[in-house]
């Protein structure tokens, strides 16, 4: 019989917070191309986390996100001024939570709740404060502690250390399949938030449960 879940740990970007809520600021900087810029910026951001991890050349997520914005502008042939770059980066501090997030977190008061994210401590602190979610979380954990990005196993171990529980007692929640897969490989019970009905990747480690949004999480946890 599986161990009872004692903590629920969430990815931040794309899971709790909509990374594409920066699109309006992207559109303001690059009229007619806001969505295109936002989409490619996110792709570059993720690529750089994986590449820097493989290279063994860590830089924090804020610097990496800035570099990804510069690369995106260059790829699209746009001139990115320092003023525009500052506005784009500031938009990451005020990302919009998905509509169901606050109610979903509040409904999990029987569990310890945390964020485990690639984000830097400053970025995570800013976005959590902006969303007024401090009282809904027991911990906000950044990969900065181990200086490597997800899905490296040492990142997931931070959650076990934070709550002093084995992996089998942690439910990990992410909208990124590669993240859910990495967490499954580590030993967490994973819940993939598949808002867009995406096709699962073939990584060999499937999540324990798939739900359409965080509003379905409490019932899925009860059945786990």
Contact criterion met (CB below 8 Å) for 165 and 187? no
Residue whose entry in the numeric block shows the structure tokens 């009282």:
135
Tokens of 142: 């950044």
Q: 3-class DSSP state for residue 189?
A: strand
Q: 3-class DSSP state for residue 194?
A: coil
Residue whose entry in the numeric block shows the structure tokens 């009860």:
222
For 62, half-sphere exposure in the C-beta direction (CA atoms, 13 angstrom radius) is 15
Q: Give CA–CA dist 192/148, Å, rounded.
A: 22
Tokens of 90: 């500031």
Contact criterion met (CB below 8 Å) for 87 and 25? yes
Q: Is 11 an annotated catalytic residue?
A: yes
Burial environment of residue 155 by CB neighbours within 10 A (0 to 12, 13 to 18, 19 or more): buried
Tokens of 116: 């485990």
Catalytic positions: 11
């Amino acid at each position: 019989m599986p161990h009872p879940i004692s903590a629920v740990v969430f990815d931040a970007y794309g899971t709790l917070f909509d990374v594409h809520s920066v699109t309006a600021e992207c559109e303001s900087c690059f009229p007619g191309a806001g969505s295109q810029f936002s989409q490619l910026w996110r792709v570059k951001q993720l690529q750089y986390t994986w590449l820097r991890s493989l290279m063994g050349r860590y830089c924090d997520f804020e610097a990496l996100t800035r570099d990804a914005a510069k690369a995106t502008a260059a790829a699209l042939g746009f001139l990115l001024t320092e003023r525009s770059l500052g506005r784009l980066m500031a938009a990451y501090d005020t990302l919009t939570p998905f509509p169901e997030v606050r109610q979903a977190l509040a409904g999990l008061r029987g569990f310890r709740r945390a964020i485990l994210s690639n984000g830097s401590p400053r970025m995570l602190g800013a976005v959590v404060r902006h969303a007024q979610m401090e009282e809904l979380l027991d911990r906000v954990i950044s990969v900065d502690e181990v200086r490597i990005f997800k899905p490296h196993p040492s990142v997931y171990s931070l959650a076990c250390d934070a709550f002093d529980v084995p992996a089998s007692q942690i439910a990990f929640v992410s909208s990124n399949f590669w993240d859910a897969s990495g967490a499954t490989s580590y030993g967490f019970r994973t819940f993939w938030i598949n808002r867009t009905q995406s096709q699962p990747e073939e990584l060999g480690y499937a999540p324990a449960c798939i739900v359409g949004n965080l509003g379905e999480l409490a019932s899925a946890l009860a059945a786990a």
